[in-house]
Structure 1
């Protein structure tokens, strides 16, 4: 197994778990008024890693990685459910009740959000890989071409990700128009500004690891 593939696969599994935890906080994209859930930062790494693997090791392997990403998701969700169900210690209840409440609030997400996340994950990442590969063409990949393909694939897939997640998680609870528009604009902006450089860096890093 190429060392670059091994390292990036480990990183991928970690990012699938971390994205759901970070998503609890929304951050402002300075200097605009746009806000985005922080899980996007881990999710963009999933985009970068899957695109890097598609570029170097093939689309089929990248797609399998996305499907296998459900394994750490399922295990982490099961462990979170177990820990939430277990009774807290008397010491924590008596002296650290605020910490306990914060822990349960962050990890005790509603079932709709728990289902919306994986649905958006599988559709958007498979779409990203498909677009990234389709734009490849038959010629030798250049750095500029790689950056453009990465930006376009990420921007389109992130727009779809926002549409799926926000609709499944919050439709019917409140008017989701503003949230949906803000999320799409914010995620597309981050995709265009960050992903091209992260993908080129990821490809170079994987090649360096493989040579080692």
Structure 2
């Protein structure tokens, strides 16, 4: 048993620092994306809108693609699946907090704050329920497209990396928008402008921003890995 524990410690110590750091960030973004999604932001100067979870979700796409590029498609898919865990824990903790009684001081002196907290988080259940479905489909699709576009091992230059990241992100996030917006908000208000705005914003950001974020993410992870070694 001692020998087995020693092997586990050796394997943990051998984990690339870039992978370790990105895994931590990934878990945080899975939770934050669901919280931010409650607010819709106007795409000025149009009347189109986008749910704010897009900003955290973009980082999930970038991180999953970076991990697929450096550490392999299999590990990237594993992290996407395990990304459910912090999301599930956060959802359970939110329900626990909502059902626990507030302190007398808060109920008496900060009633408006308490009511706002409970009103927002008690109605966010559809967002939390829609998130996992859209999350799994879109991020697994992102990793799959990104890996398939790579082709041969020689096809790993910067331009190829940026193009593959943009295409995989645009396609996967367009599908994510349809799934998430429909499940989270259909029937609560007209979702046409939000759905169109979400798709346009994600596709544009996929081609304008994601390629540079992935390139920078890969370079940063390699730098961390060299420092660790």
Q: Do residues 99 (structure 1) and 113 (structure 2) align? A: yes
| Aligned with residue 156 of structure 1, among 168, 171, 175 | 171
Closer/same/farther in 2, CA of residues 170 and 37 from structure 1, 3 Å limit: closer
For 1:40-119, list aligned pairs within 5 A: 40-119=54-133
User: What TM-score do the two structures reach when normalised by structure 2?
Assistant: 0.87
Q: 1:14 aligns with which of 18, 21, 28?
A: 28
3-state SS of 2:50 partner: strand
Equivalent residues of 1:21, 1:106 under 8 A apart: no
Contact kept, 8 Å, 2:143 with 2:168, in 1: the verdict is: yes
Alpha-carbon contact 1:150-1:195 (below 8 Å) kept: yes
Match of 1:202 in 2: 217
- Contact in 2 for aligned 1:16/1:73 (Cα 8 Å): yes
**26-35 vs 81-90, greater mean Cα deviation:** 26-35
Is residue 146–residue 165 contact of structure 2 (8 Å, CA) maintained in 1? yes
CA contact (8 A) 1:15 1:43 kept: yes
What 5-or-longer segments of structure 1 have no aligned partner?
Answer: none
Gap regions ≥5 residues in structure 2: 1-14
The one-character-per-residue Cα deviations of 1:97-134 (angstroms, maximum 9, x if unpaired) are 12112222332234433221110000000000001111
Per mean C-alpha deviation after superposition, the further-off stretch among 181-190 and 52-61 is 181-190
The structure having more radius of gyration, on CA atoms, is 2
* Mapped partners of 1:164, 1:19: distance in 2: 15
Q: What is the RMSD computed on CA atoms of the aligned residues?
A: 1.5
Matches of 1:23 and 1:119 in 2, distance apart? 14
2:198 aligned to 180, 183, 188, which one? 183
Relative to the length of structure 1, the TM-score reads 0.94
Q: 1:128, 1:8 → 2: CA distance?
A: 17
* Partners of 1:198 and 1:30 in 2: CA distance: 24
**Alpha-carbon distance in structure 1 between the residues aligned to 2:91 and 2:125:** 11
